[in-house]
């Protein structure tokens, strides 16, 4: 158990190292979320500008199913 305690204490530098790990984790998580939002918005914008994607979207939506 002393080895684990020594690891978490980090030679007296734990007060600097653990907050740094926390900040890096938060920044990486924020970058991941921001990147996903940007990707989704640009994909939606690209699909809106692409005439082929609009035609495919229009043909996928059934106008009426009463014809059968």
The two tokens of residue 61 are: 């939506």
How far is it, in rounded angstroms, from Cα 59 to Cα 55? 6
pLDDT digits (tens, 9 = 90+) for 9-66: 888 898 999 999 999 999 999 999 999 999 999 998 888 888 886 676 677 666 655 5
- pTM metric for this prediction: 0.61
First vs last Cα of the chain: how many Å apart? 74
Q: Give the single-character DSSP code of 21.
A: H
Q: Do residues 43 and 49 touch, judged by C-beta distance below 8 A?
A: no
């Amino acid at each position: 158990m002393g080895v684990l305690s020594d690891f978490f204490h980090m030679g007296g530098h734990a007060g600097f190292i653990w907050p740094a790990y926390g900040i890096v984790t938060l920044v990486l998580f924020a970058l991941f979320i921001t990147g996903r939002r940007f990707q989704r918005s640009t994909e939606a914008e690209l699909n809106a500008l692409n005439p082929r994607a609009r035609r495919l979207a229009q043909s996928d939506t059934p106008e009426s199913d009463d014809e059968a």
